[in-house]
Amino acid sequence: MEDEDNITDYFDDFRTLADPLVSSCRMSRRECNKLFWQGFHADDRAMLYPRLIGRHPFQKPGADFDYQELFNRIHTIFAQWRREDKAAEAEAERQRKLEDDHELD
């Protein structure tokens, strides 16, 4: 997933399919939660996992996390990563400008 918008789209699509299955008892809530987590790419799961279990070390994402809660937490993590990326880009640009100004002197 690239950003919060991708996560929101995935969540909306997943809910559209999963909610009727859960409400009609064709899929358990636990299965639903597990499928939501499995819908993330393995690399994304590997990056997210340490951040998700920090507050709940005995819970595993997937069946142990409600998919709504999981979505909320993952959305927040991706938003934080985006802010960190933008801050790093701004700092790199500031450093380039300082170096350019120094070269002009």
Q: pLDDT per residue over 24-57, tens digit each?
A: 999 999 999 999 999 999 998 888 888 887 766 6
Per-residue pLDDT reduced to its tens digit, 76-99: 888 888 877 777 777 888 888 877
Q: Name the pTM for this structure.
A: 0.71
The residue among 16, 55, 56, 53 whose CA lies nearest residue 36 is: 16
- C-alpha to C-alpha distance for 85 and 94, rounded to whole angstroms: 14
Total of domains in the chain? 1
> In terms of residue numbers, what domain contains 100?
4-104
- C-alpha to C-alpha distance for 87 and 91, rounded to whole angstroms: 6
Task: Name residue, tokens 């998700």.
Answer: 52
Tokens of 1: 């997933």
